[in-house]
Amino acid sequence: MDRTLIRANLNENPFNPIREFEREIIKTFKEIEINRYPDPEYKELRKALADRLNVDIDNIAIGNGSDELILYILLAFHRKGFPLVITHPTFGMYEKAGKLLGMKILKFNLKEDWGLPKKDIEEAVKNGAVIFLGYPNNPTANCWPEKDIIDVIDKNPGITIIDEAYYEFSGKTLLNLVRERQNVIILRTFSKALSLAGARVGYAISHKNNIDVLNEVRLPFNISLFSEKLALFMLNQTSWIKEKVKEVIENRDWLFAKLSTLTFLKPYPSETNFILCKVLYENLDVIAFLKEKDIEIRKPDMEGNYIRISIGKREEVEKIWLSLKELQEKLK
């Protein structure tokens, strides 16, 4: 690639651990017996995760990204006749998987400040549902108050999934609920803070009964040996990950402050590695303008002129800022 493209559209991590830990990772790979199947139970990875999370190995299921676990959860629970309940906007995979399975899908618009329409959801789930809640939610980048989520969980005789894909950026988790309740699944991923989007590893944490049900629908060798070893390796790089998360958060807050000075954009506060903005002129195509400058951002799946910017390295957010400042000048 001769042009440097800034990929600010998929909420990836800008830092590639293979660049940083090349020798160690090659050494790990050399030890892999690639002529053999992986352990179909992924015990080593589940044990490593269980130890870190202070749960039992039976409380963890591994997926080919959390995307696959979303599909597995719906495969496992739609048979009970539950509808799928989601917010709007939210991460698109929940609806996509629900549609694939022919589920009834109930969508609840978030309030103007992206608050949870708690009462409406509670009313709709009285007879049981599979509810997916982003914590924080993508693309709105906010975490709803813990109490609102617990109230919804307790009103739902079905199952509630708390998607914590961006947990390392928000620092907030509802993991404790798994210890107290049987009707909650927490989803996490190695794709964001742990820099392994290309390896495709996600995990679910829940009561043993739910994990057993997920394992019934899970394909036996659903992640590769390479991915399992990379995930195990990254789990031990705690200080590198902490440092990179801190850097991304600093870059996010730097860009947020800059964006707040523009008159054509309204950025929303973020507890993730991306910023959602409302474009205040209906027909202004910020996405096309940035594309011309080799910057890819995302049009989130929601009505109105919104953009979502993933946070990268300092030089990347600086380039995004300079381009948007140029657009501001043009609008004068």
By CB atoms closer than 10 A (0-12, 13-18, 19+), residue 42 is buried
Residue 18: CB atoms within 10 A of its CB come to: 13
Q: Which residues bind ligand PMP (CB under 6 A)?
A: 11, 65-67, 91, 134, 138, 163, 165, 189, 191, 197, 202
With CB atoms as reference, the residue minimizing the distance to ligand PMP is 65
Residue 143: CB atoms within 10 A of its CB come to: 22
Residue 31 CB, nearest distance to ligand PMP (Å)? 26
Residue 135 CB, nearest distance to ligand PMP (Å)? 9
Residue 282: CB atoms within 10 A of its CB come to: 7
Residue 249 CB, nearest distance to ligand PMP (Å)? 17
Nearest to ligand PMP of 134, 158 (CB atom): 134
Nearest to ligand PMP of 178, 193 (CB atom): 193
Residue 36: CB atoms within 10 A of its CB come to: 8
Contacting residues for 233 by C-beta, under 8 A, at least 6 apart: 17, 21, 24, 25, 28
Residue 27 CB, nearest distance to ligand PMP (Å)? 26
- Alpha helices (H) in the chain, listed in sequence order: 17-20, 22-30, 43-53, 65-77, 92-100, 118-124, 146-155, 167-170, 176-180, 208-217, 225-235, 238-259, 286-292, 314-331
Nearest to ligand PMP of 71, 152 (CB atom): 71
Whether residue 294 contacts residue 6, with contact meaning beta carbons closer than 8 Å, is answered with yes
Nearest to ligand PMP of 131, 165 (CB atom): 165
Residue 73 CB, nearest distance to ligand PMP (Å)? 12
Tokens of 264: 């054509």
Nearest to ligand PMP of 96, 119 (CB atom): 96
Nearest to ligand PMP of 59, 191 (CB atom): 191
Residue 77 CB, nearest distance to ligand PMP (Å)? 17
Whether residue 279 contacts residue 298, with contact meaning beta carbons closer than 8 Å, is answered with no
SS3 at position 134: strand
CA distances from 228 to 12, 28, 146, 190 (A): 19, 11, 32, 11
Residue 91 CB, nearest distance to ligand PMP (Å)? 4
Nearest to ligand PMP of 8, 262 (CB atom): 8
Report the C-alpha gap between 162 and 4 in whole angstroms: 36
